[in-house]
Chain A
Amino acid sequence: MSPLALAVRDSSTMLRRNLLHARRYPSLTLNLLLTPIMLLLLFVYIFGDTMSAGIGGGRPDRSEYIAYIVPGLLLMTIGSTVVGTAVSVSNDMTEGIIARFRTMAIHRGSVIIGHVIGSVLQSVISVVLVGAVAVAIGFRSTDATVLEWLAAFGLLVLFAMALTWIAVGMGLISPNAEAASNNAMPLILLPLLSSAFVPIHAMPGWFQPIAEYQPFTPAIETLRGLLLGTEIGNNGWLAVVWCLGLAVLGYFWSTSKFNHDPR
């Protein structure tokens, strides 16, 4: 069997294993899904009038605010899902079966690749579920073409892949599930420091560069532009570069951690 065929075959076996875990024990995935949905409802129905009045120059318009925060929440959903990835990777590494995999003549990276693909699939499903809630409470993308929808979907998948590779690395360096959950916490907190809930120009001047160039903001602005027709500018490129950069960094970090002698 060629190395590539071996990699594909073993990775898909590992993916099946991870999907089996997720199907058998869905509670972790569902719990993590609650965070973005709660935030969506909280910001729309509780803070919605105030927030939209602040952004829109004094005139409260809740439906406009729904449109504003949904792109950010979709990306936040990914951040929340990959915290689950970090936890399950860390849990998995403490299992004896991983030691068994290491002593078998299988593709070395298949364990991690299985986790990554499984987690990206979970992220996509979670995004679709949160998106459905958003549509149910009134989110509409009025002028997006099919091509823009596809681009939006592609961006979400790319973003999920980038964050997943980072989360896998975090899972690998964490000695237990609690540590993994703590280490991955920034992935949930970062969206709060982005343009997800309020525009960058409404933040203090010294903070604006941080908020503007962290990975979430360009991705949010790009998604907003694709779905709602706002100005994308150079955010599209920034988002793609961030995603590729994080994915490559996470890939090398994770594989080198995994190839180390186990603790």
Chain B
Amino acid sequence: MTNLAIAANGLRKSYGDKTVLGGVDLAVEEGTIFSLLGPNGAGKTTSVKILSTLISPDPASGEIRVGGHDLATDPQAVRAAIGVTGQFSAVDGLITGEENMLLMADLHHLSKREGRKVTAELLERFDLTEAAKKPASTYSGGMKRRLDLAMTLVGNPRIIFLDEPTTGLDPRSRHNMWQIIRELVSDGVTVFLTTQLLDEADELADRIAVLNDGKIAAQGTAEELKRLIPGGHVRLRFTDPAAYQSAASALGEATLPHARLRSRGGTPVDESLTLQIPSDGSQRELRSILDWLDSVGIEADELTVHTPDLDDVFFALTGGSGVPNQPRETVR
């Protein structure tokens, strides 16, 4: 059995009668990237704050262990195992980047020499050597974020919490940050990442939990999550409105050969002269669709296969009430 870096049972937090987290279970294996994905206000930051000992969970919560230590009874041991880079830069803006790093070295009780060595190495690694002697308040957003993460790494934490580490970064800085995160995990570190960017979770995470309204809406690998949503379809686009009309009516009364097609039928998407037919994207199903199109004499100008991406999952799971079993396009 693999060891769990983070194991939380029934994580709860409410302020007054506003419930932020309504019983969240989390299990993160050592040496993996776990991503908590959710819209603003879903409770991502609150989860990080609790797991990193910044705030306490409600007493009704179950047992929470981080790095093998009980959060409630031994918070100092948890703190010794973790590093946190928050949503808002946790750097001291009044002092220089180098002084920030040396401050961390002092607080991790490194010797003067070791502190200087680690500082120089990390500043170099995060491309901050040139700016080392400037006050951190003068840094750009990307530089601050890099300094922030560099400070987190001074103590060699085994578990790192990254709360929306790329929010507000330009694409290049974002890719740099992704590269850094991948390197961390290759060293055996566990990363707990929150994000509202689907591609970020898709790109980095071994496992993803979708948090919505204080509850886990779905959990699994990116592939597993995508399979939850039958969002795939074939799109037919026409340039001639007449051809479109006849195709639409044929589709409307069609007795489609494939079971799935028969039950659902096709849906016209009027504005763009586009029709879409549900499909799982498999070769078999595609062929049967093509055969049927030939047999009824529909000739589209363009045919595209759309497979569900994490966006579909995200919107379906966080879109509000009910279990969504229809991709959102077909609602129109």
In the complex, chain A residues 15-34 whose Cβ is within 8 Å of any chain B Cβ: 16-17, 20-21, 24-25
Produce 1/0 per residue, B68-97, CB < 8 A to A.
000000001101101010101111111100
Min Cβ gap B213→A in Å is: 22
In the complex, chain B residues 7-31 whose Cβ is within 8 Å of any chain A Cβ: none
Task: Determine whether the beta carbon of A96 is less than 8 Å from that of B88.
Answer: yes
Task: Determine whether the beta carbon of B99 is less than 8 Å from that of A103.
Answer: no
Cα distance A80–B40 when bound, in Å?
43
Task: Determine whether the beta carbon of B92 is less than 8 Å from that of A95.
Answer: yes
Task: Determine whether the beta carbon of A13 is less than 8 Å from that of B106.
Answer: yes
Produce 1/0 per residue, B26-55, CB < 8 A to A.
000000000000000000000000001111
Task: Determine whether the beta carbon of A96 is less than 8 Å from that of B94.
Answer: no
A262 within 8 A of B: yes
Q: Which residue of B lies closest to A20 (CB)?
A: B95
Task: Determine whether the beta carbon of B95 is less than 8 Å from that of A17.
Answer: yes
Q: Which of A17, A24, A99, A105 contacts B54 (CB 8 A)?
A: A99
Task: Determine whether the beta carbon of A1 is less than 8 Å from that of B88.
Answer: no
Task: Determine whether the beta carbon of B94 is less than 8 Å from that of A21.
Answer: yes
A106 within 8 A of B: yes
A147 within 8 A of B: no
Q: Which residue of A lies closest to B151 (CB)?
A: A100
- A96 partner residues in chain B, CB cutoff 8 A: 86, 88-91
Q: Summarize A's interface: helix, strand, loop or mixed.
A: helix
B116 within 8 A of A: no
Min Cβ gap B194→A in Å is: 15
B269 within 8 A of A: no
Task: Determine whether the beta carbon of A21 is less than 8 Å from that of B54.
Answer: no
Q: Which residue of A lies closest to B154 (CB)?
A: A104
- B79 partner residues in chain A, CB cutoff 8 A: 103-105
Q: Which residue of A lies closest to B135 (CB)?
A: A24
Min Cβ gap B208→A in Å is: 24
B56 within 8 A of A: yes
Task: Determine whether the beta carbon of B53 is less than 8 Å from that of A103.
Answer: yes
Cα distance A173–B107 when bound, in Å?
26
Q: Which residue of B lies closest to A13 (CB)?
A: B106
- B260 partner residues in chain A, CB cutoff 8 A: none
Task: Determine whether the beta carbon of A105 is less than 8 Å from that of B80.
Answer: yes
Q: Which residue of A lies closest to B105 (CB)?
A: A13
Q: Which residue of B lies closest to A106 (CB)?
A: B107
Cα distance A112–B144 when bound, in Å?
25
- B103 partner residues in chain A, CB cutoff 8 A: 13, 17
User: With A1-B109, A13-B107 given, is the CB distance from A100 to B95 under 8 Å?
Assistant: no
User: With A13-B106, A96-B89 given, is the CB distance from A102 to B53 under 8 Å?
Assistant: yes
Q: Which residue of B lies closest to A25 (CB)?
A: B94
Cα distance A21–B79 when bound, in Å?
26
Cα distance A24–B109 when bound, in Å?
25
Q: Which residue of B lies closest to A21 (CB)?
A: B94
Min Cβ gap B279→A in Å is: 48
Cα distance A96–B76 when bound, in Å?
20
Q: Which residue of B lies closest to A98 (CB)?
A: B90
A10 within 8 A of B: yes
Most B Cβ at <10 Å: residue of A9, A10, A97, A262 = A97
A261 within 8 A of B: yes
Task: Determine whether the beta carbon of B88 is less than 8 Å from that of A104.
Answer: no
Task: Determine whether the beta carbon of A105 is less than 8 Å from that of B76.
Answer: yes
Task: Determine whether the beta carbon of B55 is less than 8 Å from that of A97.
Answer: no
Q: Which of B56, B88, B135, B155 contacts A261 (CB 8 A)?
A: B56
Produce 1/0 per residue, A102-118, CB < 8 A to B.
11111000000000000
- B54 partner residues in chain A, CB cutoff 8 A: 99, 102-103, 261-262
Q: Which of B52, B55, B151 contacts A262 (CB 8 A)?
A: B55
Most B Cβ at <10 Å: residue of A17, A103, A105 = A103
Produce 1/0 per residue, B170-206, CB < 8 A to A.
0000000000000000000000000000000000000
Cα distance A99–B45 when bound, in Å?
13
Q: Which residue of B lies closest to A16 (CB)?
A: B106
Cα distance A100–B54 when bound, in Å?
9
Task: Determine whether the beta carbon of B107 is less than 8 Å from that of A261.
Answer: no
Task: Determine whether the beta carbon of A100 is less than 8 Å from that of B90.
Answer: yes
Task: Determine whether the beta carbon of B84 is less than 8 Å from that of A100.
Answer: yes
Cα distance A10–B91 when bound, in Å?
18
In the complex, chain A residues 24-65 whose Cβ is within 8 Å of any chain B Cβ: 24-25
- A103 partner residues in chain B, CB cutoff 8 A: 52-54, 79, 82, 84
Cα distance A97–B155 when bound, in Å?
15
Cα distance A97–B76 when bound, in Å?
18
- B86 partner residues in chain A, CB cutoff 8 A: 96, 99-100
Task: Determine whether the beta carbon of A97 is less than 8 Å from that of B92.
Answer: yes
Cα distance A72–B155 when bound, in Å?
49
Task: Determine whether the beta carbon of A24 is less than 8 Å from that of B94.
Answer: yes
Q: Which residue of B lies closest to A6 (CB)?
A: B109
On A, residues with C-beta under 8 Å from B are: 1, 9-10, 13, 16-17, 20-21, 24-25, 95-97, 99-106, 261-262
Q: List 8 A-B contacts (CB under 8 A).
A: A1-B109, A13-B107, A100-B84, A105-B79, A106-B107, A261-B54, A261-B55, A262-B55
**Which 7 pairs of residues, A with B, have the shortest CB-CB distance?**
A96-B90, A100-B90, A105-B80, A105-B79, A261-B55, A13-B106, A103-B84
On B, residues with C-beta under 8 Å from A are: 52-56, 76-77, 79-80, 82, 84, 86, 88-95, 99, 103, 106-109, 135, 151-152, 155
